[in-house]
Structure 1
Amino acid sequence: MARIAGVDLPQKKRIEYALTYIYGIGLTTSRKILDRTGIDYNTRVHELTDAQAATIRNDIQENVMVEGDLRKKVTLDIKALMDLGSYRGLRHRRGLPCRGQKTKTNARTRKGKRKTVGAA
């Protein structure tokens, strides 16, 4: 089982798609990593040699922020927005959408279950 960045990659999948199981790596980043390491996109995870897995591991460690570090950075960035008192920070604090979506009828994911107001 190939374990990269603390994530067990699925054995039967092609490496370009298997790398996307790591938080912070999408398809484009996955392909860039494979280009830098010189590994074919069509290689299956179970076909990787230990040396190839090590080169992928090293490349990710040096060039890409993933998993815990990335989650921590995102959390700190949101906290900084809230501390600044910016519009986006206020929206985060209130649990409302931050990117301009309407909230009169939608935004149930952010707002939660409906609270009926004014119904007699």
Structure 2
Amino acid sequence: MSGGACPQCENWAEPQLDDTAALRNVLVMESNNEDASVVVPDKNQFQHILRLLNTNVEGKRKIMYSLTAIKGVGRRFSNLVCKKADIDLNKRAGELTNDELERIVNIMQAPSQYKIPNWFLNRQKDPKDGKNTHSLSNAVDNKLREDLERLKKIRAHRGLRHYWGIRVRGQHTKTTGRRGKSVGVAKKK
């Protein structure tokens, strides 16, 4: 036993680190009441907030979960994007380089070019052009608004129910949902 605490290893010795270097390289953060340590190569390169696709992305969360802050990106889609971009899922979003972030954004904006199947996309067979696309951030709201306007314009049942502000998918309306606009017959005096 030569200077180590491990009885099985004879050549084992504790690594000697400069205290200031160790403090600079290890950043301890709290996330959701859990202590998580993050090893950062350089303190200046860690970004606490990233701006991706007009959305603020939290840098201290793991990349897969931080991408879900972007509208139109869920956990499964972000997992697939990270795998296609060859990014370690245990990395924090703030640790990524600009090249890695650019790869992620390119894959999210053009998923069919990276062999992501059509059934994974959130905009299949668009009524206007018939293409399969994936809407992200502000485009999700725009597409929803366009769809509702189209339904109202053609006087479809769904469009009328949206216009009237009542339940669309066949739910009962007699007793629930009374706080919105008043619908139905007014009581005689």
Q: What letter is aligned with 1:102?
A: H
Shift of 1:17: 0.8
**1:24–1:67 CA contact under 8 A, matched in 2:** yes
**1:101–1:107 CA contact under 8 A, matched in 2:** no
**1:2–1:53 CA contact under 8 A, matched in 2:** no
Whole-angstrom CA distance in 2 between matches of 1:119 and 1:15 = 60
Q: Deviations over 1:77-102 (max 9, x none)?
A: 01111111111111001001111111
- Percent of aligned pairs with the same amino acid: 31
Of Structure 1 and Structure 2, which has the larger fraction of its residues in strand?
Answer: 2
Whole-angstrom CA distance in 1 between matches of 2:178 and 2:110 = 39
Assess, with a 3 A threshold, how the Cα gap between structure 1 residues 48 and 108 changes in structure 2: closer, same or farther: farther
- Does structure 1 residue 69 correspond to structure 2 residue 69? no
Whole-angstrom CA distance in 2 between matches of 1:113 and 1:9 = 40
User: What are the ranges of 5 or more consecutive residues in structure 1 without an aligned counterpart?
Assistant: none
**1:88–1:98 CA contact under 8 A, matched in 2:** yes
Using the size of structure 2 for normalisation, the TM-score is: 0.56
Using the size of structure 1 for normalisation, the TM-score is: 0.85
1:95 paired residue number: 165
**1:18–1:45 CA contact under 8 A, matched in 2:** yes
Shift of 1:113: 7.8
Give the 5 Å matches for 1:76-87: 76-87=146-157
User: What are the ranges of 5 or more consecutive residues in structure 2 without an aligned counterpart?
Assistant: 1-48, 112-133
Classify the secondary structure of the residue corresponding to 1:2.
strand
1:104 paired residue number: 174
Ranges of 4+ aligned residues in structure 1 off by more than 2 Å: 111-114, 117-120
User: CA RMSD for the aligned pairs?
Assistant: 2.0
